[in-house]
Every structure is written in C-alpha cells, then in structure tokens.
C-alpha cells in the first residue's frame, strides 16, 4: 500500500509556512520545546540546539516523509538546509512540487 499523501494543495510561501508550523509542532509534541518558538528559531541548527539525537533523526525523517508524501534522497541528507526548520521546509516544499509534477499534479 502506498503511504504517500497527495501533494499539498498549498504553494510557495504558504506551503513553506505550513511546513514550518508542522515541524515546530513536531518538536513541541515530543517535549523538545515547551512552546512554539519565535520565528527566528527557524534558522537555528536543531542538532546544535540539542533537539535531535542521531537516532531521533530517523523517526523525524520517517514522519516527515509519511506526513508530506515525500522521499528524501541521499543528497538531501548532505544538504546544509536539512538542519534548520526553515531549510527543511524548503526541501520538503521542493520535493512536494517535484513529486507532484511526476504524478501529473
């Protein structure tokens, strides 16, 4: 069974904002943050901030791929944007657009 969701209907900045909110809530929901952070937090490296261990990244990525219906490549894991909420939102939005185009959306 294909677990991928349909491409997100939002585009551009609206899509990135929605993704950022979901990512922030992911950290809040796991007790990594007590409240949704200030917008400036989106540029901070969450590994450096101690919010994700190397093992937690597997759960994090799996949930992102399942929720947004995207698949990260090996190259994505080398992308410097992967370590911030805003950067990760860009990667997810790019994949959402690319995957949607591949599916004819």
Convert the pLDDT of each residue in 17-58 to its tens digit: 999 999 999 999 999 988 888 888 999 999 999 999 888 999
CA dist 24 and 36 (Å) reads 6
Please determine, for residue 69, whether its predicted confidence score (pLDDT) is greater than 70: yes
Q: Could you give the C-alpha distances from 67 to 26, 40, 62, in angstroms and in order?
A: 11, 24, 8
Sign of CA dihedral 83, 84, 85, 86: negative
- Rounded to two decimals, the pTM is 0.79
Domain architecture of the chain: domains with CATH:
12-100 (1.10.1200.10)
Q: Look up residue 8 and give its two tokens.
A: 């997100």
pLDDT value at residue 102: 53
pLDDT value at residue 53: 85
Q: Which strand (E) or helix (H) includes residue 3? A: none
How does DSSP assign 47-62, residue by residue?
TTTT---TTHHHHHHH
CA dist 74 and 54 (Å) reads 16
More confident residue, 63 or 2: 63
């Amino acid at each position: 069974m294909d677990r991928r969701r349909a491409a997100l209907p939002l585009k551009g900045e609206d899509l990135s904002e929605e993704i950022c909110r979901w990512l922030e809530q992911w950290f809040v929901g796991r007790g990594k943050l007590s409240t949704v952070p200030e917008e400036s937090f989106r540029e901070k490296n969450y590994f450096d901030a101690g919010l994700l261990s190397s093992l937690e990244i597997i759960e994090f990525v799996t949930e992102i791929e399942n929720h947004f219906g995207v698949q990260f490549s090996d190259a994505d894991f080398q992308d410097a944007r992967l370590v911030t909420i805003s950067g990760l939102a860009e990667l997810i939005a790019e994949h959402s657009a690319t995957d949607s185009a591949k599916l004819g959306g």
